[in-house]
Amino acid sequence: MRLSTQQQSAIRATVAETFGAGAAVWVFGSRVDDSKRGGDIDLLIQTNQVDINALMRAEITLLTQLHKKLGEQKIDILLDYPTRTSRPPIFSIAKHTGILL
């Protein structure tokens, strides 16, 4: 994986702070392939929260905090929660090909 131990810890901690200790986060996409270079950070976050307004605030807070901790770089987030009405195939792909932090 092309994220340092410090970056992984920062992501895990920030997700827990913003979505709760029960939230899970996977890194997927080019950052899990050691043979590639560059690329954005793709994250799948699975949470038990159901309030859509709280979820959107948490997502904005997460991005803000990660930019502070990791520096300005492109971060893409897929957000999975119990009341989500559709889960495009990328959710399954991210979970199965990604690495759980």
The CATH number given to whatever domain includes residue 47 is 3.30.460
Averaged pLDDT for residues 58-68: 96
Considering only 32-41, 48-57, 66-75, 85-94, which range has the smallest mean pLDDT? 32-41
Structure-token pair, residue 19: 């979505």
CA dist 86 and 29 (Å) reads 21
46: left (phi over 0), alpha (psi -120 to 50) or beta: beta
Distance spanning both ends of the chain, measured CA to CA: 11
Summarize pLDDT for 7-61 with one digit per residue, the tens.
Answer: 999 999 999 999 999 999 999 988 787 667 767 899 999 999 999 999 999 999 9
Please check the confidence at residue 72 and state whether its pLDDT lies above 80: yes
CA dist 4 and 74 (Å) reads 16
Structural domain tally of the chain?
A: 1
Domain span at residue 18 reads 5-100
CA dist 23 and 74 (Å) reads 22
